Amino acid sequence: MKQIIQNLGNGKTSIQDGPMPSNKPGHLLIATTYSVISTGTERMLKSFGQANLINKAKQQPDKVKQTIEKLRTDGFISTLGAVKSKLDQPIPLGYSNVGVVIESDVDGFKKGDRVVSNGSHAEVVCVPGNLCSKIPDSVNDKEAAFTVIASIGLQGVRLLKPSLGETIAVYGLGLIGLIVIQILRANGCNVIAIDNNKQRCDIANSLGFTTIDISSSENPEINIRNQTNQNGVDGVVITASTPSNDLIHQAAEISRKRGRIILIGDVGLNLQRDDFYKKELTFQVSSSYGPGRYDLEYEEKGNDYPIGFVRWTANRNFDAIIDLLANQSISLKPLISIEFSIEDALDAYELLDDSTKLGILISYKDSEGNYKDSNVSKTMTLSENIEEKIFSESSVNIGFIGAGNYASSILMPAFNACDVNFMTLGTRGGQSGVQYGKKYKFQKTTTDLDEVFSDEAINTIVIATRHDQHFDQVKRALLSGKNIFVEKPLVLTIDELDEIEQIYIDAIDNKEFIPKVMLGFNRRFSPFIIKAKDLIDNLDSPKAFIMTINSGKIEPDHWTQDPKTGGGRILGEGCHFIDLLRHLAGSEITNHYSNNMEGITSDTRTLELSFSDGSIGTIHYFSNGAKSFPKENLKIFTAGKILEMNNYKSLRGHGWEKFKVMRSFKQDKGNNSCVAAFVNSISQGEPSPIPFDQLLEVSRVSIELQNS
């Protein structure tokens, strides 16, 4: 499958071959026929990618602040690695797509339906049902492909709330601007179209609109006052893109008293109070396609807003654009400038700076006019002679599931540093599978996870997916007779935990193969924790632990906060610290308690643990602190002595005769050592680095504390 991607690190746009995505609940799998290049958005992304680090920083000052805070707390090497990892991640381009459904998990859609969606520039896309709409026979694919882009303009018009007979000025006659003026006319408005590009003004003129060409020294303010009996326009829609603040000032100048200004484009926003004060103007920024956009409940979970309360959602805006096309209230055919096949799509990106090019179409049809889904596979070979490679009984042959940020920046490099064979990389979307499959020399990448579990050559599976997928994937791996490394948590519920325990017990009883199961509890493998453990184990005395985690705020709608998807932050991350204290205490947890700060997510908590040897521990998991403060701190009190570990960069002793301080310029949370210990246990036939009963114990306590 061909897909257009961009590297944010260097701005390079490329056509990537890869496996087609797999479908998922509430989504459609669509074979694309056409997609439209959003010249403004994609030009901006290209420009950002090609900028050097300093200019990138200037464009994203909020990210600079976050980077400085991480630099202060985690150190230069850790911060540099995180920045490089972010910029190394490719992004798919495109968001206005038309195609034919090839798989559906959404009521009301079936195979063969023609649909519009916000899918990317790819031969096959997987899109949530709420971001798809059917196309009637009276609307052709080429015009329908503009639906999502047109919906951005429609949402801005809806915020303007124009009424019949009003006069509206539209600044900017790019693709969206030329659509907006048609929508406004269909709404019964008088429209004045303004741009500094004569050719675009000519297109608007050809559609029957009054225009003001700023490039010919026409003065918009004088011209508009003459056309509106000196009153000014009722509203202004800005679809232009410029860093200048002048456009907002001009919009205010041409507005009547109590006029409305809607911003769809991207302009300087250093507003002058007097502009808005003297006329009591209103100003609003329009966001994308409409209500539901960027809402996880709406987009990914398919929960629609009731029409009685939210009349126009993103999806219903799609429908409205299609209706306007069907009854010929708007025409998008004049906006189509040029068409490229997906094979030649890179040539299209050479035209992004050509202001005469508006609608640039990418075609995915073959020479006979059929969409190209017959040769698209869910598996792609990345290296040759797979079958000829011979593996020894001690080899660690990895099937890796998931290629998100943590998997690609932490886990893959850690496994790559060990003596392992990367066999198959499984992902849901396919794009990241190709990117990181090639980078780390996997033999295959696939979006069909059955290939990973059924491959007899694979003896070890690494699971680095979203938390709600862990139970099913761990279960399948155990039943397939594989060793397993799971990026925590193991499961999300007690029932799931009990089932995994029983499957493991059955495997032991059968004595055919005892799988090694490992959770990514890397903190216990940090050199600072290893040193601390070595010191306190020489003392026959209970310990008192105080651990403080400055976890930082995560919005309530983030997937990790969802009990069904992420499990919550105590289960998703707090389990690390429960395991750490369990490890340092060296004895079972006998009691546990959670004291929660009241709130939507309750992710500011104090967790109290008691251990069978008399040790006690307190974990302060706080999300309400400052990011400039180090994230993790541990104090250990025992036998008249104290150890203090600060963010895995230093360990300081108080009251110890032969130990005072251990420092490192590089933060080391034990990720590499954790993976190495797991790999060595397989290759050398040693016991699992963390006993399975401890994994169950910590998982059970974490679930109970999360739910308390």
Rounded CA-CA distance 339/360 in Å is 6
- pLDDT exceeds cutoff 60 at 34: yes
Please check whether residue 576 is in contact with residue 488, taking contact to mean a CB–CB distance below 8 angstroms: yes
- Token pair 């399948």 is found at 476
Of the listed ranges 38-52, 183-197, 309-323, the one predicted with least confidence = 38-52
What's the pLDDT score for residue 389? 46
pLDDT category at 443 given cuts 50, 70, 90 is very high
Please check whether residue 305 is in contact with residue 291, taking contact to mean a CB–CB distance below 8 angstroms: yes
Name the residue among 403, 278, 485, 340 with its Cα closest to residue 2.
Answer: 340
Please check whether residue 401 is in contact with residue 473, taking contact to mean a CB–CB distance below 8 angstroms: yes
pLDDT category at 372 given cuts 50, 70, 90 is low
- CA dihedral (27, 33, 37, 38) in degrees, to 10, reads -40
The model's pTM is 0.87
Q: Mapping DSSP to helix (H, G, I), strand (E, B) and coil, where does residue 584 land?
A: helix
Name the residue among 523, 463, 460 with its Cα closest to residue 489.
Answer: 463
Please check whether residue 425 is in contact with residue 447, taking contact to mean a CB–CB distance below 8 angstroms: no
Mean pLDDT value across residues 63-89: 60
Rounded CA-CA distance 246/584 in Å is 63
Max CA distance (Å), the chain: 93
- pLDDT exceeds cutoff 90 at 10: no
Q: Please state the separation of Cα 93 from the chain's center in Å.
A: 14
Alpha-carbon distances of 369 from 168, 363, 365, 372, 576, rounded to whole Å: 41, 10, 5, 9, 55
Please check whether residue 614 is in contact with residue 541, taking contact to mean a CB–CB distance below 8 angstroms: no
pLDDT category at 54 given cuts 50, 70, 90 is low
Q: Is the dihedral of CA 375, 376, 378, 382 positive or negative?
A: positive
- pLDDT exceeds cutoff 90 at 55: no
Q: Answer with the residue of higher pLDDT: 509 or 66.
A: 509
Rounded CA-CA distance 671/488 in Å is 13
**pLDDT tens, position by position, 380-417:** 999 765 544 446 667 999 999 999 999 999 999 999 99
Name the residue among 576, 581, 559 with its Cα closest to residue 631.
Answer: 576
What's the pLDDT score for residue 388? 43
Rounded CA-CA distance 57/499 in Å is 49
Q: Answer with the residue of higher pLDDT: 510 or 433.
A: 433
Percent of the chain with pLDDT over 70: 91
Give the contacts of 706 (CB within 8 A, at least 6 positions apart): 567, 568, 570, 571, 574
Helix (H) or strand (E) holding 47: helix 39-50
Name the residue among 382, 392, 510, 390 with its Cα closest to residue 446.
Answer: 382
What's the pLDDT score for residue 91? 86
On the question of a common fold for 2-146+332-363 and 522-670+691-707, the answer reads: no
Give the contacts of 588 (CB within 8 A, at least 6 positions apart): 582, 611, 612, 697
Domain 2-146+332-363 in this protein, CATH class: alpha beta
- pLDDT exceeds cutoff 50 at 192: yes
Give the contacts of 219 (CB within 8 A, at least 6 positions apart): none
Alpha-carbon distances of 176 from 234, 455, 470, rounded to whole Å: 20, 49, 43
- pLDDT exceeds cutoff 90 at 579: yes
Rounded CA-CA distance 273/604 in Å is 40
Please check whether residue 703 is in contact with residue 492, taking contact to mean a CB–CB distance below 8 angstroms: yes
Name the residue among 594, 590, 660 with its Cα closest to residue 621.
Answer: 594
The CB-side HSE value for 324 (13 A sphere, CA atoms) comes to 25
- Token pair 């009251």 is found at 655
Q: Considering just the CA atoms, what is the radius of gyration of the chain in Å?
A: 29
- Token pair 């998703």 is found at 572
Helix axes 147-160, 175-186, angle to 10 degrees: 60
- Token pair 């020399």 is found at 441
Residue 284 tokens read as 């609003």
Residue 98 tokens read as 């038309």
What's the pLDDT score for residue 522? 97
Instruction: Quickly list H helices, 312-360.
Output: 314-326, 345-349
DSSP 628: T
Of the listed ranges 344-358, 452-466, 523-537, the one predicted with least confidence = 344-358
- Token pair 């103007």 is found at 281
Residue 501 tokens read as 């325990």
Name the residue among 489, 423, 427 with its Cα closest to residue 460.
Answer: 423
Question: E-assigned strands of 558-649?
Answer: 589-596, 605-611, 616-622, 632-638, 641-646
Q: Answer with the residue of higher pLDDT: 47 or 178.
A: 178
Please check whether residue 330 is in contact with residue 324, taking contact to mean a CB–CB distance below 8 angstroms: yes
pLDDT, the chain, mean: 90
CATH superfamily of 522-670+691-707: Dihydrodipicolinate Reductase; domain 2 (3.30.360.10)
Helix axes 76-88, 61-74, angle to 10 degrees: 140
Q: Answer with the residue of higher pLDDT: 248 or 352.
A: 248
For the chain, the structural domain boundaries read: 2-146+332-363, 149-285, 380-519, 522-670+691-707
Q: Is the dihedral of CA 46, 49, 50, 53 positive or negative?
A: positive
Residue 105 exposed, middle or buried by CB count within 10 Å (0-12, 13-18, 19+): middle
Domain 380-519 in this protein, CATH class: alpha beta
Please check whether residue 168 is in contact with residue 234, taking contact to mean a CB–CB distance below 8 angstroms: yes
Residue 646 tokens read as 């600060």
Rounded CA-CA distance 613/6 in Å is 56
Rounded CA-CA distance 624/168 in Å is 46
Residue 74 tokens read as 């985690």
Of the listed ranges 50-54, 203-207, 417-421, the one predicted with least confidence = 50-54
Rounded CA-CA distance 130/107 in Å is 11
- Token pair 């005072």 is found at 660
Question: E-assigned strands of 84-240?
Answer: 90-92, 97-104, 114-117, 124-128, 132-134, 167-171, 190-195, 210-213, 233-238
Instruction: Determine the straight-line distance between the first and last CA of the chain, rounded to whole angstroms.
Output: 47
Q: Mapping DSSP to helix (H, G, I), strand (E, B) and coil, where does residue 8 land?
A: coil
- pLDDT exceeds cutoff 70 at 371: no
**pLDDT tens, position by position, 643-672:** 999 999 999 999 999 999 999 988 999 999
CATH topology for 149-285 is: Rossmann fold (3.40.50)
pLDDT category at 9 given cuts 50, 70, 90 is confident
Rounded CA-CA distance 110/138 in Å is 19
pLDDT category at 316 given cuts 50, 70, 90 is very high
What's the pLDDT score for residue 40? 78
